[in-house]
């Protein structure tokens, strides 16, 4: 599975001269932004937030600022003792270690060091930040978490609501440690972390609204546990188990998923059998069931998701015709049905999906003609009908796209 890095380098480099916060020099290892002008009030500078009453700097946002170099323990950054929010994400700290000095920011509620090329072991001092509500260390490929330190982390950060450790190296962490995570968590992202063995019981995290575990292809989920998980996590809005081994899960278990779900991604999850009726998930905006082994007809109930923007059923063994009810998906932007076994004609009702920009129907058994109603798809920029049994007659109306 392909993942896009959550950063873009759209900003221009900033001047590297030394500028001053009140009494606090920022060295070239922390390059200021263009609005940082010597002699002006630093509280008006881009990325800086000050306490209205005291004037202390309580927020520093230098995300995606093309910073480069090492942050040493004696960096003036660590003199900002009143910081409550610190965002250094999407920079390049050149394979440097996370300094133990970060543990001195005892007022921090938000810390984001994601996608910034930090390496080595995460210092245990991070566990001192007991007031953290949000911690993001994701997309630092060579950042390692020791089991002892991780235990301290999850035991001490009792206020934590958002945790993202995607792609961090946790191969030395005992999976049972995850069971001690704060019950206040609302967002948990542990993607591509090489988790293995049976899926852990995290049903105590009943406040979760977002759970991303994709890319852990050695993680096994069994039916009994999955049923417990979906019954307890009634607040879930986004669930991504793509790549997790769910071959033991009975598809009918999906009928117990929270009705509050807006995004469900189960791609490459080894699911098999007939797909159940999940029409109770009326709030779905995105549904990805691709690369599994679902059989039988494509459920017509999928046409009831009026808010659906993306539907991916590619690489399964669905057969029969595309349900005419798919014409009800008026918000649909992307529809992928390629590499299945459906037959019959492409329903003309698809021509009513006026917001559709991508339609993938290749490697199937469709016959007949391309529906003339496709002339209504004015937003379409990708149309893939390769390897079907369609008539060679291409509608003249396609020339107007």
pLDDT, tens digit, 9 for 90 and up, residues 146-169 = 888 888 898 899 999 999 999 998
> Residue 218: beta bridge partners?
196
Q: Give the per-residue pLDDT at 236.
A: 96
With 50 as the cut, is the pLDDT of residue 18 above it?
no
Nearest to 284 by CA among 253, 320, 259: 259
3-state SS class at 198: strand
Write the CB contacts of 39 (distance below 8 Å, at least 6 apart in sequence): none
Q: Which long-range contacts (CB under 8 A, 24 or more apart) does 319-326 make?
A: 319/295, 319/343, 320/296, 320/344, 321/297, 321/345, 321/347, 322/298, 322/346, 322/347, 322/350, 323/297, 323/298, 323/299, 323/347, 324/300, 324/349, 325/300, 325/301, 325/349, 326/302, 326/350, 326/353
Q: Give the per-residue pLDDT at 315.
A: 97
The residue ranges of every structural domain in the chain are 23-194, 198-261, 271-280+288-401
Mean pLDDT rounded to a whole number for the chain = 87
Q: Give the per-residue pLDDT at 401.
A: 67
Confidence band for 399, pLDDT divided at 50, 70 and 90: low
The mean per-residue pLDDT over the stretch 162-186 comes to 87
3-state SS class at 348: helix
What is the gyration radius of the CA atoms in the chain, in angstroms? 25
The mean per-residue pLDDT over the stretch 67-96 comes to 91
Residue with tokens 């993680």: 219
Q: Against a cut of 0.75, is the pTM above it?
A: yes
Q: Check: CB of residue 284 under 8 Å from CB of residue 308.
A: yes
Could you check whether 23-194 and 271-280+288-401 share the same CATH topology? Answer: yes
Instruction: Record the tokens describing residue 123, joined without a space.
Output: 């210092």
Q: Give the per-residue pLDDT at 33.
A: 63
The mean per-residue pLDDT over the stretch 121-127 comes to 94
Instruction: Record the tokens describing residue 37, joined without a space.
Output: 């002008």
Confidence band for 7, pLDDT divided at 50, 70 and 90: low
Instruction: Record the tokens describing residue 110, joined without a space.
Output: 């938000």
* CATH superfamily to which 23-194 belongs: Ribonuclease Inhibitor (3.80.10.10)
Determine whether 41 is exposed, middle or buried from the number of CB atoms within 10 Å of its CB (0-12, 13-18, 19+). Answer: exposed
With 90 as the cut, is the pLDDT of residue 133 above it?
yes
Instruction: Record the tokens describing residue 177, joined without a space.
Output: 């440690």
The residue with greater pLDDT, 107 or 176, is 107
DSSP strand pairing (365-368 vs 341-345):
parallel
Instruction: Record the tokens describing residue 47, joined without a space.
Output: 């990325």
Q: Give the per-residue pLDDT at 300.
A: 92
Instruction: Record the tokens describing residue 379, joined without a space.
Output: 């937003």
How many Cβ atoms sit within 10 Å of the Cβ of residue 310?
18
The residue with greater pLDDT, 134 or 21, is 134
Class of domain 271-280+288-401: alpha beta
In order, the DSSP letters of 20-46 are EETTEEE-TTSPPPTT--TTS-GGGST
Alpha carbons 235 and 233: distance in angstroms, whole number: 6
Alpha carbons 367 and 390: distance in angstroms, whole number: 4
Query: What is the signed CA dihedral for 309, 315, 320, 326, rounded to 10 degrees?
Result: 0
- With a pLDDT cut of 70, the percent of the chain lying above it is 89
Determine whether 378 is exposed, middle or buried from the number of CB atoms within 10 Å of its CB (0-12, 13-18, 19+). Answer: exposed
């Amino acid at each position: 599975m392909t993942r896009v890095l959550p950063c873009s380098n759209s900003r221009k480099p900033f001047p590297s001269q030394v500028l001053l916060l009140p009494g606090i020099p920022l060295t070239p290892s922390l390059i200021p932004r263009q609005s940082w002008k010597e002699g002006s009030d630093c509280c008006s500078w881009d990325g800086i937030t000050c306490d209205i009453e005291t004037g202390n700097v309580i927020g520093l946002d230098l995300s995606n600022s093309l910073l480069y170099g090492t942050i040493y323990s004696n960096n003036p950054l660590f003199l900002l003792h009143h910081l409550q929010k610190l965002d250094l994400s999407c920079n390049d700290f050149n394979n440097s270690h996370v300094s133990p000095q970060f543990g001195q920011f005892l007022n921090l509620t938000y810390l984001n060091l994601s996608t910034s090329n930090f390496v080595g072991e995460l210092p245990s001092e991070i566990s001192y930040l007991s007031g953290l509500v949000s911690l993001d260390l994701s997309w630092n490929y060579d950042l390692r978490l020791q089991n002892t330190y991780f235990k301290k982390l999850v035991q001490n950060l009792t206020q934590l609501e958002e945790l993202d450790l995607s792609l961090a190296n946790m191969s030395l962490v005992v999976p049972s440690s995850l069971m001690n995570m704060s019950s206040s968590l609302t967002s948990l992202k542990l993607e591509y972390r090489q988790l293995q063995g049976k899926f852990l019981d995290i049903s105590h995290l009943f406040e979760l609204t977002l759970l991303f575990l994709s890319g852990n292809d050695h993680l096994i989920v069994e039916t009994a546990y999955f049923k417990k998980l979906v019954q307890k996590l009634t607040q879930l809005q986004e669930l991504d188990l793509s790549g997790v081994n769910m071959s033991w899960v009975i598809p009918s278990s999906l009928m117990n998923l929270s009705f509050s779900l807006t995004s469900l991604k189960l791609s490459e999850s080894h699911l098999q059998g007939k797909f159940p009726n999940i029409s109770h998930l009326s709030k779905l905006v995105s549904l990805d069931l691709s690369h599994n082994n679902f059989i039988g007809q494509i459920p017509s109930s999928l046409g009831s998701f009026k808010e659906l923007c993306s539907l991916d059923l590619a690489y399964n063994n669905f057969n029969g015709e595309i349900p005419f009810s798919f014409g009800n998906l008026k918000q649909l932007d992307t529809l992928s049905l390629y590499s299945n076994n459906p037959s019959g004609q492409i329903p003309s009702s698809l021509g009513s999906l006026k917001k559709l920009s991508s339609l993938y129907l290749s490697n199937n058994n469709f016959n007949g003609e391309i529906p003339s109603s496709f002339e209504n798809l004015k937003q379409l920029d990708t149309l893939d009908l390769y390897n079907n049994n369609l008539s060679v007659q291409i509608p003249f109306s396609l020339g107007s796209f």
